[in-house]
Amino acid sequence: MHLRRLILSVCLLVVLPAYALGAETAVGVAMDDFSYTDTSAEPANQTAAHERRLAAFMAALRQDIGGDRRYRLVPSAQDGAAFKVIGGIQKTSTLVQWAKVAVIDVGARKVVMDKLYTFRGDNDESWERAEIFVSREIMAALGAPAPIALAVFEFELEDNTAAPAAGLAAADASFLAEVTGSVRDALGQSGRYRLVDVGSANEEAVKARALRDCGGCEAAMAQRLGADQSLIGVVRRVSRTEYTLGFQVRDARTGTVLARGDSGLRLGADYSWKRGAVRLVSDRLIENQ
């Protein structure tokens, strides 16, 4: 049986000799590609789809672990890995899959996590949700808090100039896209957050770019997307050379406001929005936790 072979692999890895960590302060983590077996006996050949989904699963898992500054991904114990992560996934029926995951403390020659999970579905969404859950479990076994799944919605423009244009001008849309992208990059690179794709959110408040006025509706949207928290942001144009910035983070389950930040009046043309937004989020959210 596939899962029995994986269990045997865990036992063999425990008796490997321990290797000292290098001079790096980040703890080395080695992670092999998970194996995959389909015993569902479905008539359609889904090999290509499974290979693609498994590759995306492993890429996201490595991004989660490697994105935490306390850890660095290395090829093997010989390269300074303090922990080894192995696993395998088996599809047993049309809707049921099993995942076996183990984490080995190489230096202590000890299995610190050895769990069997089940998840339903065999599509991109079910695989993504399974990866988020497994990532949290592995991070907990490594002794680090799991990254928070965060839905960062597009920043919005509140134009308070004397004669705002009807609708969102193309130039403004471009600058706002830069703001959102830069803030997402800063949050993702911090290691504290795992960004959740919000592309499928199509509620009216999203289409109208009016999440700032929907009374916290973004929290429920974030929960439906599988996020722990939501973030919305706004650029308030006071004049063509003056603006302010604000953001708000809510708990996706309860809607409680967890953090917010507002800048004072800033001087600068529209292209400076990006720099100001990244600075505000870094100062008030990333560095302040």
> What tens digit of pLDDT does each residue of 220-248 get?
999 999 999 999 999 999 888 899 999 99
Q: Would strands 266-267 and 242-251 be described as parallel, antiparallel, or unpaired?
A: antiparallel
The pLDDT of 216-220, averaged and rounded, is 97
Query: Which token pair is 50?
Result: 């499974």
pLDDT at 176: 95
Tell me the C-alpha to C-alpha distance, in Å, between residue 264 and each of 37, 188, 242, 243, 261. 56, 25, 10, 9, 10
Model's pTM, two decimal places?
A: 0.56
CA-based nearest residue to 127, from 146, 169, 99, 87:
99
Measured CA to CA, the distance from residue 150 to residue 228 in angstroms comes to 6
pLDDT at 62: 94
> What tens digit of pLDDT does each residue of 63-95 get?
999 888 888 999 987 888 989 999 999 999 988
DSSP code per residue over 41-63: --SS--HHHHHHHHHHHHHHHHH
Answer whether 254's CB lies under 8 Å from 155's CB.
Answer: no
The total of other beta-carbon atoms located within 10 Å of residue 121's CB is 14
The tally of CA atoms less than 13 A away on the side-chain side of residue 33 is 9
> What tens digit of pLDDT does each residue of 111-129 get?
989 999 999 999 999 999 9
The answer, yes or no, to whether residue 203 has pLDDT greater than 70, is yes
More confident of the two residues 37 and 164 = 37
Q: Which band of pLDDT confidence, cut at 50, 70 and 90, is reported for residue 13?
A: very low
Residues whose CB is less than 8 angstroms from the CB of residue 196 and which lie 6 or more positions away in sequence, other chains included? 149, 150, 151, 222, 225, 226, 227
pLDDT at 128: 92
How long a stretch of residues is the chain?
289
pLDDT at 7: 44
pLDDT at 50: 96
Residues whose CB is less than 8 angstroms from the CB of residue 182 and which lie 6 or more positions away in sequence, other chains included? 274, 277, 278
Q: Which band of pLDDT confidence, cut at 50, 70 and 90, is reported for residue 107?
A: confident
pLDDT at 167: 63
The tally of CA atoms less than 13 A away on the side-chain side of residue 154 is 20
pLDDT at 15: 37
The tally of CA atoms less than 13 A away on the side-chain side of residue 15 is 4
Measured CA to CA, the distance from residue 197 to residue 237 in angstroms comes to 27
